[in-house]
Amino acid sequence: MIEVLSVEVFGGFNAVAAPQEVCLDFLNRYRSRFPALYVCGNRSKVLDGVRGNFGVRRGFTIHQVIEILLNAYQDTVFIEHDAMLFEDCDFHTLEDFVMLLRQIGRDRTVVYFTTKRDRIFDFITTLADRYILVEAEEGGYFIADVDDEGITQRFYPKRAGQLTLEVF
């Protein structure tokens, strides 16, 4: 199970936009017997802080990332958004990439995440099964959780040293 603050993420194609500390928290809290795949591009904002059972692959073009995903066998795949990958990308390649994310998400968990939204990321989120937006505010985090059932909004207060709510 993956938990973004107090939101549990299960299977499917999930898009997450959150501050860097929240991304690091959900990645480092991920626990599984089996390694997850972590895919990033040219500029990773969180890779240096990631600890855990991850196989790391880097793609320097969108075509390389697609090739990595086509050969992926892991049950959980984390993909860090990199806007540079899409600079020379035509619409058909972008569409193929998003459809591949949706296809992989049919029987596995895909988390496509970013620490900074842009137009390409926003387009990709429109085709995700679920979109979680986390924005830092004074005293906590605003969380919007959008899926096929609608939108759920909540506020998660910051507590010193704690980013995740524990369930008892």
Q: How many domains does the chain have?
A: 1
CA 139 to CA 33: how far, in whole Å?
35
Q: Confirm whether 100 is domain-assigned.
A: yes
Q: Confirm whether 144 is domain-assigned.
A: yes
> What pLDDT score was predicted for residue 166?
47
Cβ distance 37 to 76 under 8 Å? yes
pLDDT, tens digit, for every residue of 120-140?
999 999 999 999 999 988 888
Is residue 87 helix, strand or coil? coil
For residue 73, give the amino acid letter. Y
pLDDT, tens digit, for every residue of 43-76?
888 888 778 778 899 999 999 999 999 999 999 9
Answer left, alpha or beta for residue 42, where phi above 0 means left and psi between -120 and 50 means alpha.
Answer: alpha
User: What mean pLDDT value characterizes the chain?
Assistant: 87
Q: Confirm whether 20 is domain-assigned.
A: yes
- Which CATH number covers residue 13? 3.40.50.300
Q: Confirm whether 162 is domain-assigned.
A: no
Q: Which of 71, 124, 59 lies closest to 97, judged by CA?
A: 124
Q: Confirm whether 39 is domain-assigned.
A: yes
Per the structure, the complete domain to which residue 28 belongs is given by 2-157
Confidence of residue 157 (pLDDT cuts 50, 70, 90): confident
